[in-house]
Amino acid sequence: MHTGSATDQPPPAAATVQDESWRIRRTAADLERLGETESVFALSNGWVGWRGVLDEGAPCGMPGSYVNGFHERRELSYPEEGYAFPQASDTVISAPNAALIRLWVDDEPLDIRTGTLRGHERVLDLRAGVLRRQTEWISPGGRRVLLRSTRLVSLPRRPVAAVHYEVEPLDGPAELRVCSDLLANERVPERSEDPRAASVLTDPLTAEAHRTTGLDGVLVHRTERSGQRVAVAVSHLVDAPDTVTATSDGTPDRMRLTVAGRLHPGERLRLTKFAAYECAPVDGTPADELADLVVAEADAARADGFDALLADQRASLDAAWQVADVRLDGDRELQQAVRFAMFHLIQAGRPDGDRTISAKGLTGNGYDGHVLWDTETYVLPVLTYLAPAVARSALAWRHAHLPEARERAAELRLTGATFPWRTIGGRECSGYWPAGTAALHVNADIADAVLRYVAATDDKRFLAEAGLELLVETARLWHGFGHWSDTGTFHLHGVTGPDEYAALVNDNVFTNLMARRNLRGAADAAERHPDLAGRLGVGPAEIAGWRAAADAMFVPYDRERGVHQQSAGFTTQPEWDFANTDEDDYPLLLHFPYLELYRRQVVKQADLVLAMQLHPGEFTADEKARNLAYYEARTVRDSSLSAAPQAVLAAEVGHLDLAYDLFAESVSQDLADLGDKTADGLHLASLAGAWLALVQGFGGLRDDRGVLSFDPRLPRRIDRLAFSLRWRRHRLRVTLTSAEARYELPDAAHDAEVELWHHGERLRVTGAEPVTRPMPPVPDPGPEPSPPPGRRPTRRSAD
């Protein structure tokens, strides 16, 4: 039987060490860690996401076939109701899964838990953007077969994903049956007791339409409460001997193509499946039109062929890697981990979409698929310099949800806009208000991302269309929320900062400094665009009020101890009893009441240290060193968000070994599953934090003043560090060794120019030739800060 051509892919030749830094390879079934592997091998393009589940769908840790923003709503209940408590939350749900392809050999299903597994290898190719698999299996009845598959989610073609699958008998004829499924309402395992896990909704999709045409089909479903509709189409190519037949059938929740026949050694059955996904509001595109849309996309992908998808995927990644690749010489394992981190950031968002990036991206259902402040504070600063159009798209999504943020502010009796702590569709989804509603810094985090993006890109159009309004409405929140003391200082009381072990505090330094930047940024932007600001009702008096509040913002400082207070009074609270805290007691939130955590000096995640990272000009060098030492001794890193900012500050003050170990922890968070939570999806903020640790930490990049400055210093383990970033439409390439720093514009015309600072020296870098400068010696920083007992990152710097 031959219905079209398909790709014949021989096994790759032996890889070099350098090639292996571009591959994540697993050569064992590792049934105990299926969920982790599925997250690591997840593929996405910012719109569609497939978890790295085996082709046959079992065994499986957690299935997942996602469309960005597709979710269902569920009710929230409280033992005691309170005013403005959210009444519903949104949870990410799987769209119909088109990745499934099952195999039977002489009527025995391929299952790696049965029979004999002679070989099983899966490889995530970071350059090609595909997941490859090769399995040699002997069925319980003694039939030996070889299976190969290649899976991709297309970066250039938003709705499209595809898989090429081939099987052959090895030592005798066999009856083979391959079933290609499109399946809705897959069963998802129940959630754990960990509050960070996802809620599970049973059968969340209601069928609206299904049809089968020849070898192809389409399913259309809707949600009951969130008012969304999703359509998925599949189109097939089959290449097999004439003895093979193909039939298809469908039900409202499943479309199946069955290809079956007797094959002999040397013969192969090849199946290529092309899928297309789309979703829309129920009151938007009708079901039949949405079905026609995805059928056309799947058919077009089939017409172009799998080889064309592979070529386009490689071309897209070649362009992305030109900017995103980081060369780290001296540690092969971490070089691979850095490229893994950058790959998942590349595929997390889109430049042409109307969606943002959730905490797990499209790799799992952790945190219910919610968008948190992680996106603006960790992920977007990286994408602003590597893929600014993706950062712009994510900020445009925030702007699109300004109406909901204004409604929430009004409900809370606040001015301006109050963005949600956790959300999918723009409304607050967190029912725990001390670490949700009170964490108002998310509003300033969004403003900070706007200011950083505009400074790096000079995108005046974005500032006029969306950025200014975001800045204005968030500034109005702070101006109305804060209050003036009798001494003429401006205060923000009753907030929760990044450290979720300290809730409802007064004058959190991080929040106050971020609000100050927000107020000043809004004032500057409004003065630069008076006509646009006037349309938003902004006048000179309001601008003056913002500036006055920013200038008088209170920043608590403990003069007796010589350190800033994370929040007012923090340094006078009782210390945590680390001596009587066992290793099994971490994370503390699962073993101690919040009442105990809130009143003591114990820090879940970097808070004041993060403030120093984002606002380096607000602290002297001595203050940074003293603050780092004080808070390092109290930060338990129960959050994956801690290691990166700690690494940046440790590098800045000269503790390069500690910085390297913290960087290693951040970049290894998922490949090593350090928190045993990777099964729920990757920690995108931690992966982005690895880039920040390298580029801001060892590269010394600072950008808080709207100009680029570098104070690079390398730890012993790094022989050379090379990275690129985009600044004002140019690609700046930075190469660092222990002896010198090299700055160049490799793609620019000779007269192109970028101004930057290197260790306090002003430089002009042009397209004509690189500029090199020596690396000054690192001053002795003194004794290394001591983390809490048992909480030091794994010592890697001395390897």
Whether residue 133 is contained in a domain is answered as yes
> Residues 6 or more apart from 464 whose CB is under 8 A from it?
529, 532
Whether residue 157 is contained in a domain is answered as yes
Alpha helices in 654-696 (DSSP H): 656-667, 684-692
Q: Are the CB atoms for 566 and 508 separated by under 8 Å?
A: yes
What whole-number distance in Å separates Cα of residue 335 and Cα of residue 329?
7
> Residues 6 or more apart from 603 whose CB is under 8 A from it?
499, 501, 502, 566, 631, 634, 635, 636
Whether residue 529 is contained in a domain is answered as no
Q: Are the CB atoms for 369 and 358 separated by under 8 Å?
A: yes
What whole-number distance in Å separates Cα of residue 482 and Cα of residue 490?
7
What whole-number distance in Å separates Cα of residue 467 and Cα of residue 524?
12
Q: Confidence class of residue 162 from pLDDT cuts 50, 70 and 90?
A: very high
Q: Is the pLDDT of residue 735 over 60?
A: yes
pLDDT in tens, 752-779: 999 999 999 999 999 999 999 999 999 9
pLDDT of amino acid 14: 40
Q: Is the pLDDT of residue 10 over 50?
A: no
Report whether 373 belongs to an annotated binding site: yes
pLDDT of amino acid 18: 57
Q: Is the pLDDT of residue 725 over 50?
A: yes
pLDDT of amino acid 354: 85
Whether residue 552 is contained in a domain is answered as no
Q: Confidence class of residue 19 from pLDDT cuts 50, 70 and 90?
A: confident
The distance between the two most distant Cα atoms of the chain, rounded to a whole number of Å, is 90
Q: 135 - beta bridge partners?
A: 120, 147
pLDDT of amino acid 13: 39
* 583: annotated active-site residue: no
From the CA atom positions of the chain, what is the Rg in Å? 27
Report whether 374 belongs to an annotated binding site: yes
Q: Are the CB atoms for 556 and 567 separated by under 8 Å?
A: yes
As a whole number, mean pLDDT of residues 721-742 equals 97
CB 16: neighbour CB atoms within 10 A? 8
Q: Angle 211-216-219 (CA atoms, 0-180°, nearest 5)?
A: 40
Which range among 402-406, 468-472, 790-794 shows the weakest confidence by mean pLDDT? 790-794
What whole-number distance in Å separates Cα of residue 170 and Cα of residue 349?
42
What whole-number distance in Å separates Cα of residue 61 and Cα of residue 56?
13
Local structure of residue 97 (DSSP, 8 states): B
Whether residue 614 is contained in a domain is answered as no
Instruction: Establish how many alpha carbons lie within 13 A of residue 252's alpha carbon, considering only the half-sphere containing its beta carbon.
Output: 9
Catalytic residue among 168, 278, 473, 500: 500
Positive or negative CA dihedral for 420, 421, 424, 428?
negative
Whether residue 49 is contained in a domain is answered as yes
Q: Are the CB atoms for 745 and 754 separated by under 8 Å?
A: yes
Range of the domain at 197: 17-297
pLDDT in tens, 601-631: 999 999 999 999 999 999 999 999 999 999 9
Q: Confidence class of residue 587 from pLDDT cuts 50, 70 and 90?
A: very high
Q: Angle 499-504-506 (CA atoms, 0-180°, nearest 5)?
A: 95
CA–CA distances in Å: residue 114 to residues 29, 61, 181: 12, 17, 22
Pairing of strands 708-710, 753-758: parallel
| Percentage of residues in the chain having pLDDT higher than 90 | 92
pLDDT in tens, 494-539: 999 999 999 999 999 999 999 999 999 999 999 999 999 999 999 9
As a whole number, mean pLDDT of residues 6-13 equals 40
Which range among 200-209, 490-499, 660-669 shows the weakest confidence by mean pLDDT? 200-209
Whether residue 22 is contained in a domain is answered as yes
Round the average pLDDT of the chain to a whole number and report it. Answer: 95
Residue with tokens 């930047």: 517
Total number of domains in the chain: 1
- Reported in sequence order, the residue ranges of 536-677 that DSSP labels E, i.e. its strands, are 557-558, 563-564
The enclosing domain of 156 has a CATH number of: 2.70.98.40
Among candidate residues 615, 617, 609, 673, the one with its CA nearest the CA of residue 640 = 673
Secondary structure in 3-state letters for 51-90: CCCCCCCCCCCCCCEEECCCEEEEECCCCCCCCCCCCEEE
Q: Is the pLDDT of residue 707 over 50?
A: yes
Q: Confidence class of residue 452 from pLDDT cuts 50, 70 and 90?
A: very high
pLDDT of amino acid 705: 77
What whole-number distance in Å separates Cα of residue 432 and Cα of residue 70?
23
Whether residue 111 is contained in a domain is answered as yes
Q: Are the CB atoms for 378 and 692 separated by under 8 Å?
A: yes
pLDDT in tens, 249-302: 999 999 999 999 999 999 999 999 999 999 999 999 999 999 999 999 999 999
